[in-house]
Chain A
Amino acid sequence: MPALTYIDAISRGMWEEMERDPSVFLIGEDIGAYGGAFKATKGFLEHFGAERVIDSVLSEAAIIGAATGAAVAGMRPIAEMQFADFVTCAFNQIVTNASKIYYRWRIPVPMVIRLPSGGYIHGGPYHSASTEAWFAHVPGLKIVAPSTPSDAKGLIKSAVRDNNPVMFFEFKYLYRRVKGEVPEGDLTVPIGKGDVKREGGDVTIITYGSTVHFSLEAAEKVSRENGIETKVVDLRTLLPLDRDLIIDSVRATGKVLIVHEDTLTGGVGGEVAALIAEHAFQDLDAPVKRLGALDAPVPFAPTLEAAHLPDTERIVHALRELIRY
């Protein structure tokens, strides 16, 4: 198996899907000649041609509007938001149009929206947002948020083949920091299924995206220093949530820490906590604990950004509190 970076795994997945299915095409700002702001589509224009790799106008509403129309007409567009922050300009196209077309007219909208998401990259308040929670409230959408190259490739392929609009959140922090073996060939990862990234019987972390990696580091640290074994569950899909895995993993330990990079209030972690309270109350040996970014925009200054976002140390601290309880 070749080792790929997270971003290369996404590129590879898109490439394979475009080779496999001629109805798949790309649309976004500077994705063609420039190869995309993060170079995820470098070389695509040369290989697939301008009809299938479309440099769009500088309008997210136009990108999603066009992609939605193409999907309705039977195409399978992959639309790129340059930063997840900019999706606000396409909010109405996604929430009012794309998500409801199948409900209203029974016409599938097989569309993928790629959203380079999150901080830890000193991008400041307009280029570091985590915006997944806004869409987790919208029936008719699916949301995926992979944390590893292998999951990223498998999920982009599943997202392309899904007949619903899929919001594909990809974590800029992981783009080139995370490298991992990616099985070759037609690997897909099912949407709606989480994954246990580390086994442990003492305490459970439920997380996704960038914080999966901090959580794994924290789990190693408390294992080494306290002899405490942490089960780390990667949700991978945020809508629909893998309820069975969440409940089972709570039952395995009785103590849960929910971690995400997004701010806490109104975040996906709140929904996970509510599911646990509803369905696993009698399995809890401690209050459900959440850890996320402070309820503030992501600061530009690296020191402030570090203080704002969850990191390994804060997860270790929260784990120890839970262990002590």
Chain B
Amino acid sequence: MARIEVIMPQMGESITEGTIVRWLKKVGDTVGKDETLLEISTDKVDSEIPSPAAGILAEILTPENGTVPVRTVIATIETGGAGAAHEPRSGPPEAPSRESAPVPAASHAPLPGAPSPAGGRFYSPLVLSIARTEGIPLTELESLPGTGEAGRLTKKDLLAHVAARKSGGSPSPAPAGATVKAVPGPVTLQPADVPALRAKYPTPGHEILQMSNVMQKMAQHMVQSVQTSPHVAAVHEVDMSAVVKHREAHAEEFEKKEGFKLTFTPYIAEAVVKAIKKYPLVNSSVEGDKIIRKNFVNLGLAVASDGGLIVPVVKHAEEKSFTGLARAVNDLASRTRMKKLLPDDIQGGTFTISNYGVFGTLVGIPIINQPQVAILGTGAIRKRPVVIDDAIAIRWIAYLTLSFDHRIVDGALGGMFLEEIVQNLQRRDRETKI
């Protein structure tokens, strides 16, 4: 004598609940194994659910029209001999009194090519063709909900998205207010379904955290940038000894006068602004087949904050003296940390510097801050033995990386521009007044 549980089957990866349309058996009815026991409705399709075992339908726990999460016990079936007891009899091989019922398979196997739960999402050739024609990047496809088997993105799902895109709105599941432009589309993050995630990643062992706004923006910008610009990186070595000595020579006096510490950032900013004056194409943006070259330098400085990455902008850096740059950098850095940045402070950048050297990183490959076409990454400044005039010397060495948009900046320009920065830093005259 055993009692078998009938559970709400999971009809697809994305399906979290099911509705009972109809019970085909009443309590007390005899039911054969694999005989249709009930009909359920998930998503759009109704399915017949076969009985997991032969026996008598003992209980119906979810009535018709009831909706329950997948794997909920919805009925039990009494199997075996005449006795009414639910206790296991000792000895016989079919032992346990409460077997957990096998998941009743859908009445037919899924078609081949359905997405595998573990791997990436499957897209049909047609869906990929449409995406290609409409200029929809893969990351955008991945953000779209699918109504096909196991959440597959169907032709209809994509066409609905395309129609919404063209009419200027976003499809209903996207966050309100997200506007959609032509290629390349901004990346939108879909709010994930928490109950579904919870079902997939049970506690304890998994935590589900909300992405901060800054983090979401960062995610969108980074993905969009990689989609937009073919990134190429060049790495040059720079001897920072002149800068280090200059800073050592002026640090005390500077702090006394200005009220804040002299850092390396204004030196790098100054070298960058000078280099941009020589190679202004790296201070551009791209619109269609046109280049917008800027005659001013709004210098973005990537700053790590509690919530994520922020890039405040030093406006008109080309007009500022060294001290002016240092003041602007200090002002933005401190207001970033105090969360007192104004919206205008983070807009309008034309070139960006990311100083990951503060974390000890020697060489990094930064991602371009759109719509700019280049970004400079500065590595940690370390003492190293180097060869100068066939002698070994100990110098302050750092590695500078320029990531640039190869649509308009080629390796020659990138290399020359970066070398110009290197030379500007290495030639920094120790005696130059601040």
Contact = CB atoms under 8 A, between A and B. Distances in A.
Interface stretch (B96-104, B105-113, B185-193, B315-323): B105-113
A96 interface: no
A189 to B, nearest CB: 32
A284 B126 contact: yes
Contact of A282 (B108, B113, B125, B149): B125
A325 B148 contact: yes
B43 to A, nearest CB: 8
Interface of B is mostly: loop
A320 B11 CA distance: 14
Interface string B39-78: 0000011000000000000000000000000000000000
Contact of B111 (A254, A283, A287, A317): A287
Contacts of A322: 111
A286 interface: yes
B193 to A, nearest CB: 21
Interface in B120-134: 124-129
Given A321-B108, A324-B45, A285 B124 contact: yes
Contact of A285 (B44, B110, B127): B127
A189 B114 CA distance: 41
A325 B111 contact: yes
B125 A325 contact: no
A285 B111 CA distance: 12
Contacts of B113: 286-287
Contacts of B154: 285, 325
A173 interface: no
Nearest to B129: A282
Contacts of A321: 108, 111
A323 B47 CA distance: 13
Nearest to B153: A285
A325 B114 contact: yes
B155 A285 contact: yes
Given A254-B126, A282-B125, A287-B113, A325 B108 contact: no
A287 B155 CA distance: 13
Interface string A261-296: 000000000000000000001111111010000000
Most chain B CB within 10 A, of A285, A286, A321, A325, is at A285
A324 to B, nearest CB: 5
B111 A286 contact: yes
Nearest to B152: A325
Contact of B148 (A281, A282, A289, A324): A324
Contacts of B149: 324-325
Given A282-B128, A285-B126, A317 B108 contact: yes
B152 A283 contact: no
Contacts of A324: 44-45, 148-149
A283 B114 contact: no
Contacts of B45: 320, 323-324
Given A283-B126, A283-B129, A254 B114 contact: no
A289 B111 contact: yes
A283 B127 CA distance: 8
**Among A283, A284, A289, A325, residue most surrounded by chain B Cβ atoms (within 10 Å):** A325
B2 to A, nearest CB: 32
A255 B108 CA distance: 18
Interface residues of B, number: 19
A325 B44 CA distance: 11
Interface in A177-233: none
A318 B335 CA distance: 64
Contacts of A287: 111-113
Contacts of B108: 317, 321
Contact of A254 (B110, B112, B124, B152): B124
Contacts of B129: 282-283
Contacts of A317: 108
Nearest to A225: B46
Nearest to A253: B155
A287 B149 CA distance: 13
Contacts of A281: 125
A235 B114 CA distance: 29
B371 to A, nearest CB: 33
B114 A282 contact: no
A323 B129 CA distance: 20
Nearest to B148: A325
A284 B152 CA distance: 14
Interface in A294-325: 317, 320-325
Contacts of B44: 324
B133 to A, nearest CB: 10
A283 B112 CA distance: 17
A254 B110 CA distance: 18
Most buried by B among A281, A317, A324, A325: A324
Interface string B154-165: 110000000000
Contacts of A286: 111, 113, 124
A146 B127 CA distance: 35
Nearest to B158: A285
Contacts of B125: 281-285
A105 B124 CA distance: 49
A42 B99 CA distance: 68
A33 B148 CA distance: 60
A285 B108 CA distance: 20
A126 B417 CA distance: 85
Contacts of B127: 285
A107 to B, nearest CB: 46
Interface in A107-140: none
A228 B401 CA distance: 57
14 contacts: A254-B126, A282-B126, A282-B128, A284-B124, A284-B126, A285-B126, A285-B155, A286-B111, A287-B111, A323-B45, A324-B45, A324-B149, A325-B110, A325-B154
Q: Which 4 A-B pairs have the closest CB atoms?
A: A285-B126, A282-B129, A285-B155, A285-B124
Given A324-B44, A325-B154, 11 more contacts: A254-B155, A283-B125, A283-B129, A284-B124, A284-B125, A285-B126, A286-B113, A286-B124, A287-B112, A324-B149, A325-B148
